[in-house]
Amino acid sequence: MRDEFIERLTRMAEADPRIVLITGDLGFGVLDDFRERFPKQFINAGVAEQSMTGLATGLALEGHVVFTYSIANFVFMRCLEQIRNDAAYHDCNVNVVSIGGGFSYGALGISHHATEDLAIMRSLPGLTVVAPGDKWEAAEATEALATQPGTSFLRLDKSAAENTQQPGEQFELGKIRQLREGDDCTLVATGGILGEALAAAEELKSKGCHCRVLSVHTLKPLDVEVLVRAARETGGLLTIEEHTVEGGLGSAVAENLMEAGVMPRHFQRIGLRNTFSSVVGSQQYLRSQYGMDRAAIVAAVEAMPSTKVAIAA
């Protein structure tokens, strides 16, 4: 996803001199071409994320479209006050790009596991919060965020589902994409873990359980209409996120369905449950350890009372 982001941003910078990329002393190699081609549109702020965000806000107030870039937690957690008080409060076009969402940097430990970011950023007024599920969504979201006003958070994963673009499909922020048909259960996923959801849907299909699969690339604003329809039309909802279950996708879905007065036949969340991810290892290993991989998704669906009949049949 990172490569798709920088490739699309490079094309955008070529056409629009307002585009500025600021890195927190990271991305060497992948950002070299951008830096060499657009030296006036590239800034290395050093290991100073708070200053980076303040600088981005100032540039945005002067009419620039700014992207700040760093690894996972560093790009938003160290400078949350500046994102809130400077960029978001003033409705600036500052796009915070987090590289390595979830367990992407699994071997580097808890400091690099981004598992609370969606909850934190979703709580800030006016922010658009995006977690693409595949490379196409990542590239399209990059361009879409640049063309809309206000502050955003773009969470890019090291993993990605296979290309899910459908023929003639146009990407739209805030609109959930339905990738699979099915009435027995709905798998609601955000981020690169979408690939696990799609793999689980295929396995369940072979067992006679047909799952609807939704890609929630935009958590805020959330496409409530599609979720309400899924809750009414299918046997249950299972949310899947490489993130704590508190405040992330599962919370957003539950909150909005309750406000809409819609109760799914069954509702469950897959994610990190009230623990720090103290285990280290590859992204796939950590998904397995914390019950977020294909096997865990299949088991969760099979345990749903509303799907047991379909699977048995």
Q: How confident is the model at residue 27 (pLDDT cuts 50, 70, 90)?
A: confident
Q: Where are the beta strands (DSSP E) in the chain?
A: 19-23, 42-44, 65-71, 94-99, 128-130, 152-156, 177-180, 185-189, 211-215, 218-220, 237-244, 267-272
Confidence bin at 247 (pLDDT 50/70/90): very high
pLDDT at 307: 79
**Distance separating alpha carbons of residues 243 and 115, to the nearest angstrom:** 4
Q: Is pLDDT of 271 > 80?
A: yes
Rounded Cα distance, 57 and 83, in Å: 9
Examine the pLDDT at 308 and tell me if it is beyond 80: no
Whether the full predicted model's pTM is greater than 0.85, yes or no, is yes
| Cα–Cα separations (whole angstroms), residue 274 to 123, 238, 243, 271, 277 | 19, 18, 11, 10, 10
- Classify 211 in phi/psi space as left (phi over 0), alpha (psi -120 to 50) or beta: beta
Q: pLDDT at residue 73 above 70?
A: yes
Q: Are strands 237-244 and 65-71 parallel, antiparallel or unpaired?
A: unpaired
Q: Average pLDDT of the chain?
A: 96
Q: What gap in Å lies between CA 126 and CA 153, rounded to an integer?
A: 11
Place of tokens 């806000």: 57
13 touches 71 (CB < 8 A):
no
Which residues have C-beta within 8 Å of that of residue 28, sequence separation ≥ 6? Answer: none
Domains and CATH numbers, the chain: 2-156 (3.40.50.970), 177-312 (3.40.50.920)
Amino acid letter, residue 189: A
Strand segments (E) across 7-55: 19-23, 42-44
Residue 309: the pLDDT is 58
pLDDT at 29: 87
Q: Which of 251, 274, 21, 47 shows the shortest CA–CA distance to 129?
A: 251
Has residue 279 got a pLDDT over 90? yes
* pLDDT above 90 (res 240): yes
| Local confidence band at 26 (pLDDT 50, 70, 90 cut-offs) | confident
